[in-house]
């Protein structure tokens, strides 16, 4: 299939590479020349602009993987943006993590233009992008999901249809809000137990076979040394950055405001990560938030 790919950053680059490896014909663009170079070396066609990707002869699908909603608006809705130039019928797929309201607005604009669009944010991080094991949360019409599914399956393992336009982003913000909250809960519980004299491994073992168990305790425990492969056991490097969690909690609280729904725990979690980031720790894995509880943050 002839596919356009715009946004070749930490996630987009390995995702696009997996599509090339799967035999798709790719036209790619990113403002960073080195990123485009990496793809053209692998066999993709290096386009010179967003517009050039959209105008690739015979294009069937176009995927974007951009930092945030402002970039998605600019790339799709800008004066010389994608919607102004992309031929009717090309299926548009945005995999960036953005708020559901913007996703729905851009999808509606695309629809008016004669292009179906799905939102397909991902979970799984750069490791999942490289290994082709991402989870895609997809919002869009049934027929469009059926068209996009086989392509996404070359970049991910779980491709979930979440409902109509914007619902992929809804699933993503709801999940990540819970993750942000549960990590702080895990950090408090682990810190409390250890401060009161328990061994961290034994405590984690009890929690993980009891009612407090969750992903933040059994797979990504924030206490150093409990899980050898978790970021906590390598100085909170790698993993999912505090600033990325902060971005997702911002999306969740913004979406909650639009829905007029109180998310007190989500908002509190957002403020705690914001304080941690303001201390200069935005680049550390988000489980490092435990350091503010243990009194170890600088």
Smaller CB separation from ligand NAD, 3 or 203:
3
Q: What are the two backbone dihedrals, phi and then psi, of residue 296, each rounded to the nearest 5 degrees?
A: -105, -10
Work out whether 96 is an interface residue with ligand NAD (CB under 6 A). yes
Q: Which helix (H) or strand (E) holds 119?
A: strand 117-119
Binding residue count for ligand NAD, defined by CB under 6 A? 27
Work out whether 70 is an interface residue with ligand NAD (CB under 6 A). no
Q: Which one from 2, 21, 88, 172 is the annotated catalytic residue?
A: 172
Work out whether 32 is an interface residue with ligand NAD (CB under 6 A). yes
In the 8-state DSSP scheme, what is residue 87? P
In the list 27, 30, 54, 161, the residue contacting ligand NAD (rule: CB under 6 A) is 30
The CA-CA-CA angle for residues 88, 141, 74, to 5°, reads 55
Smaller CB separation from ligand NAD, 71 or 294:
71
Work out whether 65 is an interface residue with ligand NAD (CB under 6 A). yes
Q: Say whether 172 is catalytic.
A: yes
CA distance 166 to 184: 28
Strand partners, 161: 138
Cβ–Cβ < 8 Å for 269, 246: no
The residue number with the shortest CB distance to ligand NAD is 9
Provide, rounded to whole angstroms, the least separation between the CB of residue 7 and ligand NAD. Answer: 4
- Closest-CA residue to 134 (of 146, 126, 143): 126
- Closest-CA residue to 242 (of 201, 189, 281, 196): 281
Smaller CB separation from ligand NAD, 125 or 140:
125
Interface ranges with ligand NAD (CB under 6 A) = 6-12, 30-32, 35, 50, 65-68, 71, 74-75, 96-97, 122, 125-126, 240, 244, 247
């Amino acid at each position: 299939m002839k596919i356009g790919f715009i946004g070749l950053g930490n996630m987009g680059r390995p995702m696009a590479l997996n599509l090339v490896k799967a035999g798709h014909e790719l036209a790619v663009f990113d403002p960073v020349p080195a990123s485009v170079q990496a793809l053209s070396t692998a066999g993709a066609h290096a386009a010179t602009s967003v517009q050039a990707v959209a105008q690739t002869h015979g294009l069937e699908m176009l995927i974007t993987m951009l930092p945030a909603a402002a970039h998605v608006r600019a790339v799709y809705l800008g004066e010389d943006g994608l919607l102004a130039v992309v031929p009717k019928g090309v299926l548009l797929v945005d995999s960036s993590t953005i708020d559901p309201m913007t996703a729905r607005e851009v999808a509606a604009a695309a629809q008016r233009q004669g292009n179906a669009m799905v939102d397909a944010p991902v979970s799984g991080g750069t490791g999942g992008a490289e290994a082709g094991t991402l989870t895609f949360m997809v919002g869009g019409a049934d027929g469009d999901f059926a068209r996009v599914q086989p392509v996404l399956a070359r970049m991910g393992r779980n491709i979930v249809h979440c409902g109509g336009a914007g619902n992929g982003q809804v699933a993503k913000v709801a999940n990540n809000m819970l993750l942000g909250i549960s990590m702080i809960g895990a950090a408090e519980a682990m810190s409390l137990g250890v401060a009161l004299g328990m061994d961290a491994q034994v405590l984690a073992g009890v929690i993980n076979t009891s009612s407090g168990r969750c992903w933040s305790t059994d797979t990504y425990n924030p206490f150093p040394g409990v899980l050898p492969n978790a970021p906590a056991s390598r100085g909170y490097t790698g993993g999912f950055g505090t600033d990325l969690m902060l971005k997702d909690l911002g999306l969740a609280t913004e979406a909650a405001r639009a829905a007029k729904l109180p998310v007190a725990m989500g908002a509190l979690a957002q403020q705690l990560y914001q304080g941690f980031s303001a201390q200069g720790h935005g680049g550390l894995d988000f489980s490092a938030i435990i350091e503010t509880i243990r009194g170890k943050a600088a």
